[in-house]
Chains A and B, each alone.
Chain A
Amino acid sequence: MAGLLLGEAAIRDKKQAVQTQSYGPESRGGAARSEIVISDQQIDYPKVIEADVLVALSQPAFDKYHSIVKKTGTIIIDADLVKCEIDKIYSVPFTKMADSLGKKVVANSIMLGYLQASTEAISIKSLETTLREKVPEHTIELNIEALYRGIDFRKKGK
């Protein structure tokens, strides 16, 4: 879902985007992976070769994928779900922050906001528009609040 939202926001920004995923976990449980390539130019190879950014929200995901991140890249983890000993890493309590908003599921929207502020690969406006269209109607305002919590959290340099 986060990958889909990022891709659609990138398209709204008039960029190119390709998203691929591991299939099935949404319906079958287990670790889910979404890869997304965003570019101003035509994207030939649809997969991530070296990642600029990795967001890992579980320990197995971090263990499996952290090695594909570039030396100059960014790794963002959920502070309470992933333990790691790498220094240059952004450890953010997405799940806890979501809990404080009253719904754990909006952790993803907080993460998207944080990711937007970290990379600026997509605009806030496009991300907000996409989120408004994609989430269930009764959760729109909560998700938007979550999105801005994530953006603010990053901007405050945390």
Chain B
Amino acid sequence: MILNQKEYNKVVKTISKNKLFVQGDEAYAYGALLAGCRFYAGYPITPATETAEMMSQLLPRIGGTFVQMEDEIASMGAIIGASLTGVKSMTVTSGPGFSLMQENIGFACMTESPCVVVDVQRSGPSTGQPTEPSQGDIMQARWGSHGDYEIIALCPNSVQESLDLTIECFNLSEKYRNPVLLMTDGEVGHMREGITIPDFKEYEIFDRKKPTKPPADYIPFLPDKGEIPQIADFGCGYHTYITGLTHKPNGLPSTDDAEIHTQLVNRICRKISDDVDQLSKVEELYLDDAESVVISYGITSRAALYAVKMLRSEGIKVGYLRLITIWPFPEKIVRKIGDSVKKIVVPEMNRGQIIHKVRESVGNNTEVLSLPKIGGVMHSPQEIAEMLKE
């Protein structure tokens, strides 16, 4: 479905009544609808259930489909299938469900099926603390499925950004033909803030490239140029073939040819890793003269920014880098900061995950300190400030 002005008006009319002050979980739903998502399959889970509730109320009113599935792996299967018929699709879950989705996330990478997965992270492992926020799935987002693949993952820190980045997730999934993850958390998911619904002309919508050649000449997994093939949606009159097995450009399996496997897997990885500079979205503040820097993402960044402003008001030279894109990791940006500062502090609501990428990026010249926090409690600005000052 292509989102035009008429469809946009329909969405805004459906969502905007009395919607001044909303939860992150609601904003994912609004972002999805504004991006043109018309299919949701999921299994409710705290702290992500409100998104499912929203989608179940809103989708039927604008001609979309909501399916409550039997579990999370089936939910992934359903959104992949729906996407391959040309409908932008999404599922929303939390840690335990995210674990169950991993196999089919790999399937979506291998079959190059655009789709969006929102993980409202909660405290794990296992069922852990269902109602408490966490950032414990950051490495799972990158490495949770087996084999070699690349993933795109974004991390919002406010309710407005939850809406904006959900739209961005859909655009990137359509552009790169890949699953895109919104790695948010229970704190942002349940937090309420004011939002502004963007005007139709204020935001970009990217739709997948459709075949330009006639059906007889269409080769499903042979890119015209670059690394990303055009998609013939099921039912549009083109022959196409989808399998998780290693496949030739025509889509048919070929499982014992090293060359075919190498070419395919390198291509589905390179289409993302080669574009890391374009994909790297960060927020940089107070970096010019900073001697120590806090690198954070998601809700943790709200405490980090407060800490940095507090120290700046005391005349202490500290800086702030927030990763909006966490995968692919914005290595160049982090390395550059490492070249100019003495100390980097990495607060995370886990026992230390993205810190490994930070250390890998800056090498041994800069001190990189982890500030882990688990149990469902946010960092206080004071504790971040103390570590920056030490």
- Say yes or no: A20 contacts B309, CB within 8 Å: no
Does B193 sit at the interface, judged by CB under 8 A? yes
B340-390, CB < 8 A from A: 378, 380-381
- Say yes or no: B306 contacts A45, CB within 8 Å: yes
- Say yes or no: B381 contacts A19, CB within 8 Å: no
- Say yes or no: B381 contacts A18, CB within 8 Å: no
The segment from A7-15, A66-74, A136-144, A145-153 found at the interface with B is A7-15
Kindly state the separation between the CA atoms of A24 and B193 in the bound complex, as whole angstroms. 19
| Candidates B18, B20, B47, B191; contact of A46 at CB < 8 Å | B191
- Say yes or no: B303 contacts A19, CB within 8 Å: no
Does B21 sit at the interface, judged by CB under 8 A? yes
Kindly state the separation between the CA atoms of A24 and B122 in the bound complex, as whole angstroms. 14
- Say yes or no: B194 contacts A17, CB within 8 Å: yes
Number of B residues near A (Cβ < 8 Å) is 22
Residue in A8, A20, A46, A49 whose Cβ sees the most chain B Cβ within 10 Å: A46
- Say yes or no: B302 contacts A23, CB within 8 Å: no
B160-195, CB < 8 A from A: 186-187, 190-194
- Say yes or no: A8 contacts B20, CB within 8 Å: yes
Does A133 sit at the interface, judged by CB under 8 A? yes
| Candidates B192, B194, B381; contact of A45 at CB < 8 Å | B381
Does A47 sit at the interface, judged by CB under 8 A? yes
- Say yes or no: B193 contacts A18, CB within 8 Å: yes
Q: What is the minimal beta-carbon distance from B89 to any residue of chain A, in angstroms?
A: 28
| Candidates B18, B20, B131; contact of A23 at CB < 8 Å | B131
- Say yes or no: A8 contacts B21, CB within 8 Å: yes
Does B46 sit at the interface, judged by CB under 8 A? yes
Main secondary structure of the interface of B (DSSP, over half): mixed
Does A44 sit at the interface, judged by CB under 8 A? yes
Kindly state the separation between the CA atoms of A47 and B193 in the bound complex, as whole angstroms. 12
Does B324 sit at the interface, judged by CB under 8 A? no
Which B residues are CB-close (under 8 A) to A8? 20-21
Residue in B47, B191, B309 whose Cβ sees the most chain A Cβ within 10 Å: B191
- Say yes or no: A4 contacts B21, CB within 8 Å: yes
For chains A and B in complex, what number of residue pairs have CB atoms within 8 angstroms?
A: 58
Interface 1/0s, chain A 113-140, versus B by CB < 8 A?
A: 0000000000000000000011000000
| Candidates A23, A44, A47, A134; contact of B190 at CB < 8 Å | A23
Kindly state the separation between the CA atoms of A20 and B302 in the bound complex, as whole angstroms. 13
Q: A11-B20, A23-B46, A45-B302 are in contact. Are A16 and B194 (CB under 8 A)?
A: yes
A33-70, CB < 8 A from B: 44-47, 49
- Say yes or no: B190 contacts A17, CB within 8 Å: no
Q: What is the minimal beta-carbon distance from B301 to any residue of chain A, in angstroms?
A: 9
Which B residues are CB-close (under 8 A) to A134? 18
Kindly state the separation between the CA atoms of A44 and B20 in the bound complex, as whole angstroms. 19
- Say yes or no: A7 contacts B192, CB within 8 Å: yes
- Say yes or no: A19 contacts B187, CB within 8 Å: no
- Say yes or no: B47 contacts A45, CB within 8 Å: no
**Chain A: CB-nearest residue to B191:** A20
Q: What is the minimal beta-carbon distance from A143 to any residue of chain B, in angstroms?
A: 16
Which B residues are CB-close (under 8 A) to A46? 187, 191, 193, 299, 302
Which A residues are CB-close (under 8 A) to B141? none
**Chain B: CB-nearest residue to A28:** B131
- Say yes or no: A11 contacts B194, CB within 8 Å: yes
Kindly state the separation between the CA atoms of A139 and B305 in the bound complex, as whole angstroms. 43
Which A residues are CB-close (under 8 A) to B378? 47
- Say yes or no: B191 contacts A19, CB within 8 Å: yes
Known A-B contacts: A16-B194, A46-B193. Give 18 more (CB < 8 A).
Answer: A4-B21, A7-B192, A7-B193, A8-B21, A17-B21, A18-B191, A19-B21, A19-B192, A20-B187, A23-B47, A23-B186, A24-B131, A44-B305, A44-B306, A44-B309, A46-B191, A49-B380, A49-B381
The 3 closest A-B pairs by CB, nearest first: A8-B21, A45-B306, A19-B192
18 A-B pairs within 8 Å (CB atoms) are namely: A3-B192, A7-B21, A8-B21, A11-B20, A17-B194, A18-B192, A18-B193, A20-B191, A24-B131, A44-B302, A44-B303, A44-B305, A44-B309, A46-B187, A46-B191, A47-B378, A49-B380, A49-B381
User: Which residues of chain B have a CB within 8 Å of any CB of chain A?
Assistant: 18, 20-21, 46-47, 131, 186-187, 190-194, 299, 302-303, 305-306, 309, 378, 380-381
